[in-house]
Amino acid sequence: MPDASHIPFETITLGSVVSGGGALGVFALFLRYIGPWRKQRDEAEEKLRMTLTKRVAMLEKRIEIKDAKHEAERSLDRHKIRNLVQCLDAVLLVLEKAPDKAPEVVAEIRAMRQKQIVEENAEAAVIRAAEIQATARMTAEEDHDDA
């Protein structure tokens, strides 16, 4: 009869697990928990996907707002440049055609320029108000989505 001290430990452990039905029990336990793990993983992936989708949508809105703001600012800058060119052309015309009337024309051009500055500032205020309103709307949407 063989001595138990000569039988490898792995053989004894495996033999006792198999003979006792332990392997079937461990396998059944594993199968019982694999379903919830899969569900938990799927839920985590779905949550991540939804979070990323919301973030991308918000970033796209921010880009659209920045693009609109940039275009409005460019339009205002073009308007300012046209106004300055118009005033410069008027001064040059007066200096060429009637230099003796330059002082009175300069006063008219200054008045015209003051009016242009007021209009430009009003346009800039409208752009800024639209930006603030868009930012507030986006913040409200973000807060609503987070809730």
Domain locations in the chain? 18-146
The SS3 call for residue 3 is coil
CB contact at 8 A, 90 and 46: no
Q: Residue 7 has what DSSP assignment? A: S
Mean pLDDT of 108-119: 92
- pLDDT tens digit sequence for 29-87: 666 677 677 788 889 999 999 999 999 998 998 899 888 888 888 989 999 999 999 99
State both tokens at 97: 């055609």
- pLDDT tens digit sequence for 69-85: 888 889 899 999 999 99
**C-beta pairs of 111-114 under 8 Å, 24+ apart in sequence:** 112/87, 113/83, 113/87
pTM: 0.57
Average pLDDT across the chain, whole number: 81
Is the pLDDT score of 105 beyond 80? yes
- pLDDT tens digit sequence for 128-144: 888 888 888 878 877 77
> Which DSSP helix (H) or strand (E) runs through 144?
helix 102-146
